[in-house]
């Protein structure tokens, strides 16, 4: 019987198209280390349901009106490569999944439901997942269990799922700046000298329109186009 099982196992392996690459991770494990920022998913605050909050994490900059110096806003949540965000699902009986739709690196959490990473603080119990943002850029993410997550594309080889296009699910952003980056009008308009490491997050996260370029407005913590709201 044991020999027969081994034979079946060998035949199954032979039928496969090949080994998975070492870096293949369709669902990413929770990062180790302390988080820089906490993000609430599916939380009720003062009687109001909030699917994703906050809407934009990253250094804010004063970038308008045109011609004024670009300056960091003190106290805003600057993010650097390697720093960690902890995503918490406060309704851990309901599936929640953090996935990137547009980002410089993949971001794909397990389903944040019991019994995955359950913790209690005070009177609140939640399931959590930590992600260390590996490189600078704008990470737009959403919960695949909320609304339509864009057009689903299934990889014919591995069977993994990615999403393309727009989603009706609530979106949020984490913006990561390079270490030692330069925030300047030249960086903003693309005329900085060659070799300059410009800050990625100028004109991304905001509290007022003064944190956005003149063609954008501040909407729910993010600079968006005045005409389209995107």
**CATH number of the CATH domain containing 191:** 2.60.40.420
Q: Is residue 173 domain-resident?
A: yes
Q: What is the pLDDT of residue 45?
A: 78
Q: What is the pLDDT of residue 176?
A: 98
SS3 51: strand
Q: Is residue 3 domain-resident?
A: no
Q: Is residue 7 domain-resident?
A: no
Q: Is residue 2 domain-resident?
A: no
Q: What is the pLDDT of residue 67?
A: 63
Q: Is residue 69 domain-resident?
A: yes
Q: What is the pLDDT of residue 27?
A: 80
Supply the Cα-derived Rg of the chain in whole angstroms: 21
- Which residue range forms the structural domain that includes residue 195? 25-225
Domain count, the chain: 1
* Residue 140 · residue 102 · CB < 8 Å: yes
- The beta strands (E) that lie in the chain are given as 37-45, 48-53, 56-57, 61-62, 71-72, 84-89, 98-102, 118-121, 124-132, 137-143, 151-154, 161-164, 171-176, 216-219, 222-225
Q: What is the pLDDT of residue 66?
A: 67
Query: Which is nearest to 104 in space by CA: 77, 129, 78, 141?
Result: 141
Q: What is the pLDDT of residue 24?
A: 44
Q: Is residue 13 domain-resident?
A: no
Per DSSP bridges, beta strands 137-143 and 171-176 are antiparallel
Q: What is the pLDDT of residue 65?
A: 72
Q: Is residue 136 domain-resident?
A: yes
Q: What is the pLDDT of residue 26?
A: 64
Q: Is residue 166 domain-resident?
A: yes
Query: Which is nearest to 128 in space by CA: 92, 97, 87?
Result: 87
* Those residues with Cβ within 8 angstroms of residue 135's Cβ, 6 or more apart along the chain or in another chain: 81, 104, 105, 176
- Per-residue model confidence as pLDDT tens for the chain (230 residues): 444 443 343 334 444 445 544 444 468 899 999 999 999 998 887 777 777 777 899 999 999 776 678 999 998 889 999 999 999 999 989 888 899 878 899 899 999 999 999 999 998 999 999 999 999 999 999 888 887 777 777 777 777 777 777 777 778 999 999 999 999 999 988 899 999 999 999 999 999 999 999 889 999 899 998 877 67
């Amino acid at each position: 019987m044991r020999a027969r099982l081994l034979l079946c196992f060998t035949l199954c392996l032979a039928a496969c198209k090949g080994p998975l690459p070492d870096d293949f991770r369709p669902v990413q494990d929770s990062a180790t280390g302390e988080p820089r920022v906490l993000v609430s998913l599916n939380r009720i605050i003062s009687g109001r349901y909030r699917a994703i909050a906050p809407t934009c994490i990253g250094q804010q900059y004063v970038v308008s009106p045109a011609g004024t110096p670009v300056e960091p806003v003190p106290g805003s949540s600057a993010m650097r490569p390697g720093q960690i965000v902890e995503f918490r699902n406060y309704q851990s009986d309901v599936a929640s999944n953090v996935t990137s739709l547009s980002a410089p690196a993949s971001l794909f959490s397990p389903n944040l439901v019991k019994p995955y990473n359950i913790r209690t603080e005070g009177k609140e119990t939640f399931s959590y997942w930590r992600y260390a943002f590996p490189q600078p850029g704008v990470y737009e993410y959403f919960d695949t269990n909320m609304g339509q997550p864009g057009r689903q594309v299934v990889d014919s080889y591995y069977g993994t799922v990615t999403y393309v296009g727009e989603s009706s699910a609530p979106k949020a952003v984490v913006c990561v700046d390079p270490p030692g980056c330069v925030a300047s009008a030249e960086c903003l308009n693309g005329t900085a000298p060659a070799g300059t490491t410009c800050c990625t997050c100028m004109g991304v996260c905001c509290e007022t329109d003064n944190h956005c370029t003149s063609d954008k407005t501040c909407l729910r913590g993010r600079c968006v186009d005045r005409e389209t709201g995107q």
